[in-house]
Structure 1
Amino acid sequence: MPNNDFYVEELICNESFQEYCLGVSLENQILWREWIASHPDRRADIAEAERIVTILNVRQGSRTAQLKALRSGLKQKDNFQSLISLKEEKEQASGVKRITPLWHLYLGSTAAILIAVAFLYFYKPSLFYVESKVESISVQFSSGKSPRKTIILKDGSVITLAKESSIQLTENFDSSKRELWLTGEAFFDVKHDAAHPFVIHTVFNDIKVLGTSFNVKAYKNSGFMETALIQGSVRVESKKYPGYFVVLKPNQKLITPNSSEKAAVAKPALEYRVSKLQQDPTDPVPQEIQWVRKRLDIDNLPLSVIAQRLQEWYGIEIIISGEDVKNYRYSGVFENETILKTLEALQLSYPFQFKIEENKINIKK
């Protein structure tokens, strides 16, 4: 297993880690989940490595063929690791602080191209992003009795509502004025925009973000509100104590009492306490977001079947035009926060176009 100061590239080149990402063996699943749970401070780097391996394996053929192809593309792994060791020795000799080399990969021509595409996907997502729009004139969306309902807003943010939850938007909601009201529970994947904060109002507190993913549970009849941060940063502003706020870091959550109740203590810090997300050592997904996270395990399945599974889980209609597109076949393991990220990863293998119209996803060649 890698050392604590591992590089992201080292994980990508680790055959056992590749098998874990592909779901090849139960033994590797248990081994790596325990190892991931023991490195909470590197969770973001581990997730990045998982996603890159997934993208490198989104191709036609069975999972066995995928793994064989990936191993062939990374056959010069020993050379790469030798370069890492040589660089470490030089850094230690010169006293230079170690910095992860994002582009110093020596993996063979085919794998190097795929790695470059993968890094562009994560660090320049605008190159792959398909503009999302909500054309409905309604300013309120509700999940009702459905376990999940996905809403894609005009600014590209994705919201997944839990059962009996709803959001209300201002009529002029757009990329420059991003504000809504939440009742119930929802998972947010907010499109980054430093100039225009995304504001969520609840009966408990207000939440301000620039771009991040997090979960909010704020049912009106509940005695508390829970904000769980997965990535980025959020600022939770108290309605009960005007002027008081808490800034959360990744893998933290804040539980606050109902703001409608009278203040019971003189200091808000006694009520507004931050704790870590609940984590099962054998499962890297925090319990707070397991209701919305879907592990999609596919092996040589057509896009029509994959789309049906995504539609049933995320609660958004998917329409595919063209029999040839419906028959595109894929293999891979996907564990994403939103449906858009899964579709964007699939696009890298068989190119297709998709756009949001009236809160439906339309796919065509």
Structure 2
Amino acid sequence: MIQMPGNDFDVEELICNESFQEYCLGASLEHQILWKEWMAKYPDRKEYIAEAERIVSILNVKQGSRIEQLKALRSGLTQQEAFRSAISLKSDISFKSEISSKEEALERSLKVVRPRWYFYLGSSAAAILIAMTFLYFYKPAFFEVKKEQALVRFSSGKALRKTIILKDGSVVTLAKESSIRLGEGFNSSNREIWLSGAAFFDVKHDATHPFVVHTTFNDIKVLGTTFNVKAYADSALMETALIQGRVQVASKKYPGYFVVLKPNQKLSMLNSPAKTAISKPDAEYRISELKQNPAAPVPEEIAWVRKRLDIDNLPLSVIAQRLQEWYGITITISGEEVKNYRYSGVFENETILKTLEALQLSYPFHFEVEGDRIYIKK
């Protein structure tokens, strides 16, 4: 049975909790759901939680597979005494000097900024750090970087919008205080992401690799579609609004229960604190039509991410700046000639990729996408 900390938890307690370690490493969807729900109960202590996540990440150096990382943390707890004995046998002064210099180099490479309470952590956390340091210097193969397995995260922070273009060609626009985490093997063995907050998705069709969005409340499965998800962990309401295509929203609270949405439909779910005696969750899951204002070009649910762009003989450098400010994506243009290409036109309800592709028809240019950045050149 998983032991969750009480309301008086501290950073050290979180670091030494094996279930929390599995959550940080993304080793289990069950742990992801469990800890997200637990964190939502303590919004006033999110700084403690964030610091514990940071330290677990540092101890793992974010390298190797999830299983290897988890084994390393557990090994650090169990091998404390054995490592101390090994250290005591090395009494030579030059050896101590070598270890000291290597530890200093490790600290510089990790750029660790120690908070005040760091020096008062208990022996368990200290043992983890000692074990990881030992493995770093005497088992270099353990720390071999596996880039294809590295976790990828994107966050909007305080920005109103942040656009990310995924490797499969799907476009994700994050709302304020939102983030996504890509699953291992994204675009090769799967297309799974974990969302915290709100986001608009324009998913590239791939029948062999369904696109799945995991939230605290539901799992949303699509093949190729345009939809909006609002799923803040501390909110009482979760919404999925479908613009085009088809999505299936599967409940985590009621296993086996799911809803299939049609275009211009919205699913709203009340986030009750615990399971109730309701035999059917119909009282919590409600389907309605999208709110359409006759004077507005798009439904209210996605107005935050759509904009009419009027261009009248403007250089590409100015157009890029407008796109950058609205979509929250960095655009870099190489070459003065390209910057001075001039365009006119009206773009309405288009993604940033569609807008750039339309501009290419007048004055050809090339653009490459790398996550949350776009590079334009002749």
Regarding TM over 0.5, the answer is yes
Supply the distance in 1 between the matched residues of 2:269 and 2:163 (Cα, whole angstroms): 26
**Residue 222 (str. 1) matches residue 222 (str. 2):** no
Spell out the pairing of 1:21-36 with structure 2 (5 A cutoff).
Answer: none
Shift of 1:295: 1.1
Identical pairs, percent: 76
Q: Deviations over 1:130-165 (max 9, x none)?
A: xxxx99965111100000111111111110000000
- Matched with 1:252 is 265
Q: Deviations over 1:75-101 (max 9, x none)?
A: xxxxxxxxxxxxxxxxxxxxxxxxxxx
- Matched with 2:372 is 359
**Residue 238 (str. 1) matches residue 277 (str. 2):** no
**Residue 320 (str. 1) matches residue 333 (str. 2):** yes
- Matched with 2:205 is 192
CA 237–158 in structure 1, closer or farther in 2 if over 3 Å, else same: same
Supply the distance in 2 between the matched residues of 1:330 and 1:337 (Cα, whole angstroms): 16
- Matched with 1:336 is 349
Supply the distance in 2 between the matched residues of 1:194 and 1:259 (Cα, whole angstroms): 34
| Residue type at the aligned position of 1:285 | V
**Residue 173 (str. 1) matches residue 186 (str. 2):** yes
CA 146–264 in structure 1, closer or farther in 2 if over 3 Å, else same: farther
Report how many residues are paired. 232
CA 306–184 in structure 1, closer or farther in 2 if over 3 Å, else same: same
Shift of 1:211: 0.7
- Matched with 1:209 is 222
| Residue type at the aligned position of 1:156 | G
- Matched with 1:140 is 153
Supply the distance in 1 between the matched residues of 2:369 and 2:150 (Cα, whole angstroms): 15
Supply the distance in 2 between the matched residues of 1:264 and 1:306 (Cα, whole angstroms): 56
RMSD of Structure 2 on Structure 1 (CA): 1.9
- Matched with 2:361 is 348
Q: Please tell me whether Structure 1 or Structure 2 has the larger radius of gyration of its CA atoms.
A: 2
State whether residues 204 and 224 of structure 2, in contact with CA within 8 Å, keep that contact through their aligned partners in structure 1.
yes
State whether residues 163 and 327 of structure 2, in contact with CA within 8 Å, keep that contact through their aligned partners in structure 1.
yes
Supply the distance in 1 between the matched residues of 2:277 and 2:304 (Cα, whole angstroms): 33
Aligned partner of residue 363 in structure 2, secondary structure: coil
Q: Deviations over 1:192-216 (max 9, x none)?
A: 0011100110011100001111000
Shift of 1:263: 2.6
- Matched with 1:278 is 291
State whether residues 164 and 371 of structure 2, in contact with CA within 8 Å, keep that contact through their aligned partners in structure 1.
no
CA 340–137 in structure 1, closer or farther in 2 if over 3 Å, else same: farther
Supply the distance in 1 between the matched residues of 2:148 and 2:337 (Cα, whole angstroms): 28
Spell out the pairing of 1:94-109 with structure 2 (5 A cutoff).
Answer: none
Supply the distance in 1 between the matched residues of 2:234 and 2:374 (Cα, whole angstroms): 34
**Residue 288 (str. 1) matches residue 267 (str. 2):** no
Shift of 1:268: 1.7
Aligned partner of residue 310 in structure 1, secondary structure: helix
State whether residues 165 and 370 of structure 2, in contact with CA within 8 Å, keep that contact through their aligned partners in structure 1.
no
State whether residues 167 and 371 of structure 2, in contact with CA within 8 Å, keep that contact through their aligned partners in structure 1.
no
- Matched with 1:118 is none
What is the aligned counterpart of 2:176 among 138, 145, 163? 163
Shift of 1:282: 1.0
Q: Deviations over 1:316-357 (max 9, x none)?
A: 110111111111111111123421111011111211110113
CA 320–274 in structure 1, closer or farther in 2 if over 3 Å, else same: same
Supply the distance in 2 between the matched residues of 1:349 and 1:137 (Cα, whole angstroms): 40
Supply the distance in 1 between the matched residues of 2:277 and 2:238 (Cα, whole angstroms): 17
Supply the distance in 2 between the matched residues of 1:345 and 1:137 (Cα, whole angstroms): 35
CA 137–335 in structure 1, closer or farther in 2 if over 3 Å, else same: farther
- Matched with 1:154 is 167
State whether residues 165 and 371 of structure 2, in contact with CA within 8 Å, keep that contact through their aligned partners in structure 1.
no
Give the structure-1-normalised TM-score. 0.61
| Residue type at the aligned position of 1:184 | G
Supply the distance in 1 between the matched residues of 2:276 and 2:180 (Cα, whole angstroms): 27
Q: Deviations over 1:102-122 (max 9, x none)?
A: xxxxxxxxxxxxxxxxxxxxx
Shift of 1:185: 0.2
